[in-house]
Chain A
């Protein structure tokens, strides 16, 4: 089944404790992206990757890191999480660019205390 998977689905952590949210897709997509969704602010892009080893900042990259060492994986790293990073996070992928249909993962609900 073609899909985007994210882990964990739910996470409660404390300020400053490094965490990684994994994202994997099995559709051989070149483009992958991370979004956060907050009430009243909609979906905002954090980082995106056009292909392996090619990443770039989106609208709200502060406090996040990403890497794209393999085509299928695009982990999101929070080196020192803070409460303002409490949010619902979505990973998405598409065939080539954001101009193609993006397929979303199920989401990760993160709470930083």
Chain B
């Protein structure tokens, strides 16, 4: 089992729709969870971080964390073509005091005008 798994994609949504990206992780001791966005040929940039169960909203982005289910998700409301990118889920852990960050393989999102 991979340490961090994301829905395989690619995901395609029409402009204005809600894009839903999902991620599961294997280590119950993980404490910090991140979503990075990576445009083609560019470096990853942080768009959301979440540390406790529940929802966290920032503009059109909402991150959801459920530690019991070992599940973290990212919702993008009113999707725009500029949201087209690969989204990387990253989890702090496993099993150490914050020394490692493990990434999923990423989900490629395309928003069609």
Cross-interface CB contact of A106 among B32, B43, B103, B106, cutoff 8 Å: B43
CB-based A-B contact count at 8 angstroms: 55
Q: Contact: A101 with B49, CB < 8 Å?
A: yes
B46 sits at the interface (CB 8 A):
yes
B44 sits at the interface (CB 8 A):
yes
Q: Which of B20-70 contact A (CB under 8 A)?
A: 31-32, 34, 42-46, 49
**Interface size band for B:** 20 to 34
Question: Contacts A99-B31, A101-B34, A101-B49: A45 and B44 contacting too (C-beta < 8 A)?
Answer: no
Cross-interface CB contact of A33 among B32, B34, B49, B101, cutoff 8 Å: B101
Q: Contact: A97 with B104, CB < 8 Å?
A: no
Residues of B with C-beta under 8 A to A104: 43-45
A50 sits at the interface (CB 8 A):
yes
Question: Contacts A104-B44, A107-B43: A97 and B99 contacting too (C-beta < 8 A)?
Answer: yes
**Interface size band for A:** 20 to 34
Q: Contact: B101 with A90, CB < 8 Å?
A: no
Residues of A with C-beta under 8 A to B97: 97
A90 to B97, CA, bound (A): 23
A97 to B30, CA, bound (A): 13
| Shortest CB distance B65–A (Å) | 14
Residues of B with C-beta under 8 A to A96: 98
| Shortest CB distance B58–A (Å) | 13
Interface centre among B32, B49, B88, B101 (most CB of A within 10 A): B101
B-side interface residues toward A, CB under 8 Å? 31-32, 34, 42-46, 49, 88, 92, 97-106
17 A–B contact pairs at CB < 8 A? A35-B103, A41-B105, A42-B103, A42-B104, A43-B88, A48-B100, A58-B100, A59-B102, A97-B92, A97-B99, A98-B92, A98-B101, A99-B32, A99-B98, A103-B46, A106-B42, A107-B43
7 new A-B pairs (CB below 8 Å) besides A42-B88, A97-B99?
A43-B103, A45-B101, A56-B99, A90-B44, A96-B98, A99-B92, A104-B43
